[in-house]
Amino acid sequence: MYELVQVSEKCYYINCPAKIGVYVPDKDHVYLVDSGNDKDAGKKVRKILDQNGWHLAAVLNTHSNADHIGGNKYLQGQTGCKVYSGGIEAAFTKYPVLEPSFLYGGFPCKDLRHKFLMAQESEVTDFSDAEFPKEVEVILLPGHFFDMVGFRMPDGVVFLADCIGSRETLEKYAVSFIYDVGAYLETLDKVEVMEATMFVPAHAEASADIKELVQYNRDKVHEVADRILSICEKPVCFEKILQEVFKSYGLVMNFEQYVLVGSTVRSYLSWLKDDGKVEVAFQDSTLLWQRV
């Protein structure tokens, strides 16, 4: 864990739970793609940078999930580097309590205010800043989270953030976190036709060809949607839908999984409703979902 893997002349990734990209145009301007899940991750990253004599110029954040921005504060405090982010992701990075609040749908209890769901705050600079490396292309990849992006480096390496998961993870957990299902499927279509010398997803193996994995992710989305539709054959409340999703995939419920899978199931229901596949009714002060 935390090994440095070279994928091109100037691009590397640090192999950890959420892969951290490293772009080295020169020793005075090294850029990270994300920063890991916490202060300890930040320390390990800084050790790698120091061992190679690299000066950290900035962290380029793909999105604001805690496992991608958790090392920001430590690295920023130690090196004075900038942290680049954009859109809603910038707000979540600056005010990280927004993540557990959004997931829970209200003020998060202490069980949800921890490093897994809530990173430490960091100062943020927009991608439009004059010092942002102009040779790096920011690629819009919405769906998994609000304004998630990827980055294409000058040598053709593309860091894909969380827009595809590994086959192993999807086989084990089935329901990957998605904020906007329609946008997520459009992002998969976009990524499927991309060309790159190497793709580096945060939660799957780096590869020059990811078409098969993209299709597997797409198939899994439609499988989960079909499962939810089957649960909604008769009018059913959200909590019952969530219970049946957990049971059918053999998932273990705790506070973290309740909000992560729960938020995702709500997103599926919104997508299915907007697509005319489910409808809602209010009965006895209860919101019920039913397949059309």
> What tens digit of pLDDT does each residue of 30-59 get?
999 999 999 999 999 999 999 999 999 999
Residue 103's pLDDT band (cuts 50, 70, 90): very high
* pLDDT given for residue 116 in this prediction: 96
Same domain, 144 and 266: no
> What tens digit of pLDDT does each residue of 133-182 get?
999 999 999 999 999 999 999 999 999 999 999 999 999 999 999 999 99
Same domain, 7 and 46: yes
- Residue 265: give the domain boundaries: 231-291
Residue 42 vs residues 67, 90, 215: alpha-carbon distances, Å: 11, 19, 34
Residue 28's pLDDT band (cuts 50, 70, 90): confident
- Domain total of the chain: 2
> What tens digit of pLDDT does each residue of 266-288 get?
999 999 999 999 999 999 999 99
Q: Which of 235, 246, 241, 234 is nearest to 269 (CA)?
A: 241
Q: How far apart are the first and last CA of the chain?
A: 48
The domain boundary residue, chosen from 202, 223, 244: 223
Q: Count Cβ atoms below 10 Å from residue 263 Cβ, excluding itself.
A: 16
Query: Percentage of residues in the chain with pLDDT exceeding 70?
Result: 100
Tell me: pLDDT of 27 over 90.
Answer: no
Same domain, 209 and 253: no
Residue 290 vs residues 25, 44, 56, 238, 285: alpha-carbon distances, Å: 54, 49, 53, 11, 16
* pLDDT given for residue 223 in this prediction: 98
Q: Which of 229, 212, 248 is nearest to 292 (CA)?
A: 229
Would you list the DSSP string of 12-78? Answer: EEEESSS-EEEEEEETTEEEEE---SSHHHHHHHHHHHHHTTPPEEEEE-S---HHHHTTHHHHHHH
DSSP state of 207: B
The domain boundary residue, chosen from 174, 202, 223: 223
Same domain, 236 and 210: no
Q: Count Cβ atoms below 10 Å from residue 219 Cβ, excluding itself.
A: 11
**CATH, residue 85:** 3.60.15.10
* pLDDT given for residue 137 in this prediction: 98
> What tens digit of pLDDT does each residue of 62-80 get?
999 999 999 999 999 999 9
**CATH, residue 264:** 1.10.10
* pLDDT given for residue 292 in this prediction: 98
Same domain, 185 and 136: yes
Cβ atoms of 133 and 31 closer than 8 Å = yes
Q: Which of 103, 31, 18 is nearest to 69 (CA)?
A: 18
Q: Which of 21, 35, 57 is nearest to 153 (CA)?
A: 21
* pLDDT given for residue 211 in this prediction: 98
Same domain, 248 and 217: no
Same domain, 22 and 95: yes
Same domain, 126 and 255: no
Tell me: pLDDT of 246 over 90.
Answer: yes
* pLDDT given for residue 181 in this prediction: 98
CA distance 214 to 196: 14
Same domain, 120 and 249: no
Same domain, 121 and 171: yes
Average pLDDT, the chain: 97
The domain boundary residue, chosen from 166, 189, 223: 223
Same domain, 216 and 238: no
Residue 214's pLDDT band (cuts 50, 70, 90): very high
Same domain, 213 and 255: no
* pLDDT given for residue 240 in this prediction: 98
